[in-house]
Amino acid sequence: MRVEGVGFRYPNGHEALAGVDLALGPGILGLLGPNGAGKSTLMRILATLAKPGSGRVLWNGVDTAARPDALRAELGYLPQDFGVYPALSAREFLAYLAAVKGLPSRVAGERVDECLGMVGLAEAADRRLGGFSGGMRQRVGIAQALLNDPKLLIVDEPTVGLDPEERLRFRHLITDLAGQRLVILSTHIVSDIEASATTLAVMAKGRRLFHGEPEALVAQARGHAWEWTVPEAALAEARGRLAISSSLRRPDGIRLRVVSAEAPGPGATGVEPSLEDAYLWLLDRHGAR
C-alpha cells in the first residue's frame, strides 16, 4: 500500500490531514499520535469510508478512491466505535456479518467458527454478546474483521477502556495475526505497539512526523533522556517547563523521567531512552505535545 500526499479538510475548515506519505508492506504498522492527530481520519480513508481531499491511496497499484472494491475485498476493519447486537450470540452475530460481507453460505459457518477460535472465543460462541466483557467484545470485533481472510487489517484505538489484562491479551492477538498480511494499529498508547510493531509512524496535527523502525526513533532521542529527583513542592514547576514521560514517588522526592536537550537540573543523570521517551521527544521538538 502507498499513501501519497494525502490531505483532508472537514467542511468547517479544519485540516485533519496535510500531505501524508507512507509506503507499507506486510507486518504491523503502529500508527501513533496524540488525540486529534488525524489518525482516525486517515484510517477511514484507508478503509475506503472517506475519500482524500488531495493525494491518493494505492492498493496493488490501484487508486482506492476511484476503484474501492479492489481493496474492500481484501480489507478487515475494526473501527474505534465498533458495536454489537447484545441479544445475539457471538456465532449468530458473525454469521449475520458474514452474510452482509457476501461470504457464500456453504463456507460461512466454518469460517465463523475458525475466526472465533483464532480470537480465543470458541467456548463462548453461543453466549449472548450482552454478557461479554469489553475485551471479549473487542475480540469479536477482530473476528468479524477476519471473516474474509483480509490482506489488510485496520484496527483503530482497540484498547481504549480495556483493563491491563485484556489490553495485554489484545496485543498478543494482534501480533499472532500479522503473518503475511499488513496490520495497521492506530493508537495513542505507546505500550500498545511497543512490543509488536515492526514499523512505526507518528502523526501530530495532521502531519506525519516520523516513519521507520521503532529503534530508529529511539536513536533520535539518545542523549536527551534523563532521570531527575525533585522535591514534591517543585513538581508543578517541573511539569510546567519540561517534557516528562513518567514520575515515581520515592522517599527522597519525586523521580522524574524527562526528555530535554540538556540536563533539566542539578543531579540529573542521562539514561537510555525508551520508546515512550523517544515519542515524547519527537512531539516536543515539533511543538505537538
- pLDDT tens column, 16-75: 999 999 999 999 999 999 989 999 999 999 999 999 999 999 999 999 999 999 999 999
What integer pLDDT is reported at residue 74 of this predicted model? 94
Alpha helices in the chain (DSSP H): 39-46, 69-72, 90-100, 105-118, 134-145, 164-177, 190-194, 214-220, 235-241, 275-285
Judged by DSSP in three states, 245 sits in strand
- In Å, what is the CA distance from 49 to each residue of 79, 148, 165? 11, 18, 32
What pLDDT does 44 receive?
95
User: Distance (Å, rounded) from C-alpha 206 to C-alpha 200?
Assistant: 16
Q: How far apart are the first and last CA of the chain?
A: 29
Residues 6+ apart with CB under 8 A from 238: 228, 230, 244, 256, 258, 264
Q: What is the pLDDT of residue 203?
A: 97
Strand-pairing partners, residue 201, are 31, 211
Amino acid, single-letter form, for residue 81: D
Burial class (CB in 10 A: 0-12, 13-18, 19+), 9: middle
- Helices marked H in 21-148: 39-46, 69-72, 90-100, 105-118, 134-145
Q: What share of the chain is helix, strand, coil (3-state, %, to 5)?
A: 35, 30, 35
The number of beta carbons lying within 10 Å of the beta carbon of residue 22 is 19
Cα separation, 259 vs 217, in Å, equals 13
- Give the span between the Cα atoms of 8 and 3, in whole angstroms: 13
- Amino acid letter for position 112: V
Decide: 117 and 64 in contact? Cβ < 8 Å: no
CA distance 273 to 167: 24
One digit per residue, pLDDT tens: the chain, 289 residues?
A: 999 999 999 999 999 999 999 999 999 999 999 989 999 999 999 999 999 999 999 999 999 999 999 999 999 999 988 888 999 999 999 999 999 988 998 899 999 999 999 999 999 999 999 999 988 999 999 999 999 999 999 998 888 777 888 888 888 888 888 878 999 999 888 988 887 899 999 999 999 999 999 999 999 999 999 999 999 999 999 999 999 999 999 999 999 999 999 999 999 999 999 999 999 999 999 988 7
- pLDDT for 147: 95
Position 193 scores a pLDDT of 87
Grid cell 489484562 in the structure block, residue: 165
Instruction: Please provide the size of the chain in residues.
Output: 289
* pTM for the structure as a whole: 0.89
Please count the other Cβ atoms lying within 10 Å of the Cβ belonging to residue 139: 25
Q: What is the pLDDT of residue 289?
A: 75
